[in-house]
């Protein structure tokens, strides 16, 4: 039975991925912030000590509160450097992905079109996208696929916190609605279930035609 580890699996997109993987009889370890907090490197190291191999890894975590650049403090930078970048690096250094496995990164479409309010998120998620791209070529040698899913506005608690009037906001979107976490869950499940391996080293905007950059 294939084994999966889902980070940030207690709600939102992580939870949806966890549920959809369970539906195809994968042995899913769903973690919440209590189990492993990627903003806390001690927590990360403790976690990887007891969980050092898997077939499927879902790198997923929440993002920072909106904050204008001028008000971001050194400790803000440090915290999210850990949470969005360094924690994931340590995890990839320490958790062995089995041959023919998968790593899914849940990032944001803001790495291509950065947002002033979420500048911390754009910066560190982009940094990790670089690492993930480079590593996809190494993992490929063991037939491990690395897929960076870059969601746009998804119907999660976090989106509701970030946006005042969701209904008004939805009218501005090409599909007139937020994406559902289950769509991303189904997508991940479908890749795994169909043993699609050649999809790797790729950043996939998942944003209902909302972004403007051509590629």
Our finding on whether 42 is near its own copies (CB under 8 A) is no
Our finding on whether 196 is near its own copies (CB under 8 A) is yes
Our finding on whether 113 is near its own copies (CB under 8 A) is yes
Footprint of its own copies on residues 44-83 (CB under 8 A)?
69-70, 72, 74, 77, 81
Applying CB under 8 A, the site for its own copies has a residue count of 78
Q: CB under 8 Å, gap of 24 or more: what pairs does 30-39 form?
A: 30/6, 31/5, 31/6, 31/7, 32/8, 33/8, 36/7, 37/83, 38/7, 38/82, 38/83, 38/84, 38/87, 38/88, 38/91, 39/79, 39/80, 39/82, 39/83, 39/87
**Coil, helix or strand at residue 183:** helix
User: Closest approach of Cβ 51 to its own copies, in Å?
Assistant: 18
Residue closer to its own copies (CB basis): 34 or 176: 176
Give 82's DSSP letter.
Answer: I
Residue closer to its own copies (CB basis): 32 or 66: 66
Our finding on whether 98 is near its own copies (CB under 8 A) is no
Cα dist. 107→39, 51, 59, 84, 151 in Å?
16, 23, 9, 9, 7
Our finding on whether 208 is near its own copies (CB under 8 A) is yes
Our finding on whether 24 is near its own copies (CB under 8 A) is no
User: Closest approach of Cβ 124 to its own copies, in Å?
Assistant: 6
Q: What is the CA radius of gyration of the chain?
A: 17
Point out which span in 31-39, 56-64, 125-133, 163-171 binds its own copies (CB under 8 A): 125-133
Contact at 8 Å (CB) between 183 and 20? no
User: Closest approach of Cβ 62 to its own copies, in Å?
Assistant: 18
- 147 has which bridge partners? 104, 202
What lies within 8 Å, CB to CB, of 113 at 6+ separation is: 211, 212, 213
From 2, 29, 119, 166, residue interacting with its own copies (rule: CB under 8 A) = 119
Our finding on whether 37 is near its own copies (CB under 8 A) is no
**Coil, helix or strand at residue 111:** helix
Structure tokens given for 41 = 């490197």
Our finding on whether 104 is near its own copies (CB under 8 A) is no
From 96, 137, 158, 160, residue interacting with its own copies (rule: CB under 8 A) = 137
Point out which span in 2-10, 32-40, 161-169, 200-208 binds its own copies (CB under 8 A): 200-208
Our finding on whether 160 is near its own copies (CB under 8 A) is no
């Amino acid at each position: 039975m294939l084994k999966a580890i889902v980070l940030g699996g207690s709600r939102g997109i992580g939870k949806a991925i966890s549920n959809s993987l369970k539906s195809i009889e994968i042995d899913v370890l769903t973690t919440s912030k209590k189990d492993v907090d990627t903003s806390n490197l001690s927590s990360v190291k403790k976690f990887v000590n007891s969980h050092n191999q898997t077939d499927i890894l879902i790198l997923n975590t929440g993002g920072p509160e909106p904050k204008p650049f001028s008000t971001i403090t050194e400790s803000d930078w440090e915290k999210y450097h850990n949470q969005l970048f360094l924690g994931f690096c340590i995890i990839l250094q320490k958790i062995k992905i089995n041959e023919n496995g998968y790593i899914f990164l849940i990032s944001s479409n803001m790495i291509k079109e950065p947002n002033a309010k979420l500048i911390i998120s754009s910066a560190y998620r982009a940094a990790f996208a670089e690492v993930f791209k480079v590593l996809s070529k190494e993992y490929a040698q063991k037939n491990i696929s690395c897929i960076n899913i870059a969601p746009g506005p998804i119907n999660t608690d976090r989106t509701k916190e970030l946006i005042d009037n969701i209904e008004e906001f939805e009218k501005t979107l090409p599909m007139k609605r937020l994406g559902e976490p289950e769509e991303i869950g189904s997508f991940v499940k479908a890749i795994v279930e169909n043993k699609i391996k050649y999809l790797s080293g790729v950043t996939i905007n998942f944003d209902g035609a909302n972004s403007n950059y051509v590629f």
